[in-house]
Amino acid sequence: MSKNGPLSLGFHTLVVVFMMAPLVVVCLVAFTPENTLSLPTSGFSLRWFKAVFERADFIHAFYNSLILAFVAASLATLIAVPAALAITRYKFPGRDFLNSLFLSPIIMPHLVLGVAMLRLFALMGVNGSFAWLMLAHVVIITPYVLRLVIAAAIGIDRSAEQAAESLGASRFTLFRQITLPMILPGVAGGWLLAFINSFDEVTLSIFVSSPSTQTLPVRMYVYATESIDPMMAAVSALVIALTAAAMIVLDRVYGLDRVLVGKH
């Protein structure tokens, strides 16, 4: 064990460096005073962050992404929580099929889903609608909530629920005061993962969004096809900061080990 210790530590360090290096470089480029994608060699500047906040199209796209991710993650949670409790606690015909159906969007390429939903929405005459864009996001992010809630529901001790039920507690009271607090770390972690994935989603959104419902990742993609300058790095740095802030808040409130591992 001790012989493999330094080797294992070195391997994990390389993995972390490999994953974090691009993010660090992007954040450094965001502070460059130059007009090209280069590291700030002559000092740091906030000019590109200022340029982002002066672009009305980016601000509008950011609010679209924020509202879309918040509502879609909340709807996905409302769907995933009862589904997870039903899958983990009851045996009924089609349970495995239902579980596979809910989890299927996580393994299906978003390009395929985007083309399919584009065709479906076009036939229905609702292509470009913000509500249907939200529905598309709910479909692809529900598996993230479902997986964490299932992990949380499997690991809880049901003796407290049985005691409350024997004392005459209603199903709603039982869920609100006993079950929900016990699976809350999984619910919160699932909601956060769903929010982040919805906020960052670009492939599917390209197909089912319109100019008025364009999200921030789609706007960044369109801008990158027109010109590449450090403003893209500034937007990316802001998104990284937003994601990091959300993870820090979740860690302070629940603890990431409890949320992601399912401990209570």
Question: Contact 83/102 with Cβ under 8 angstroms?
Answer: yes
Q: Which long-range contacts (CB under 8 A, 24 or more apart) does 29-32 make?
A: 29/230, 29/233, 30/230, 30/233, 30/234, 30/236, 30/237, 32/230, 32/233
How confident is the model over 201-229, as a mean pLDDT? 88
Q: Three-class SS of residue 169?
A: coil
pLDDT per position as a tens digit, 77-136: 999 999 998 888 888 888 888 888 888 888 888 888 889 998 888 888 887 789 999 999
> What domains can be seen in the chain, in order of their start residue?
54-261 (1.10.3720.10)
Residue with the two structure tokens 């609702």: 126
**What pLDDT score does 260 carry?**
53
Return the structure tokens found at 130. Answer: 């913000």
* pLDDT at 1 exceeding the cut of 50: no
In a 13 Å sphere around the CA of 141, the CA atoms on its Cβ side amount to 32
pLDDT confidence tier of residue 195, bands split at 50, 70 and 90: very high
16-25, 55-64, 142-151: which range is least confident on average?
Answer: 16-25
pLDDT per position as a tens digit, 65-87: 999 999 999 999 999 999 998 88
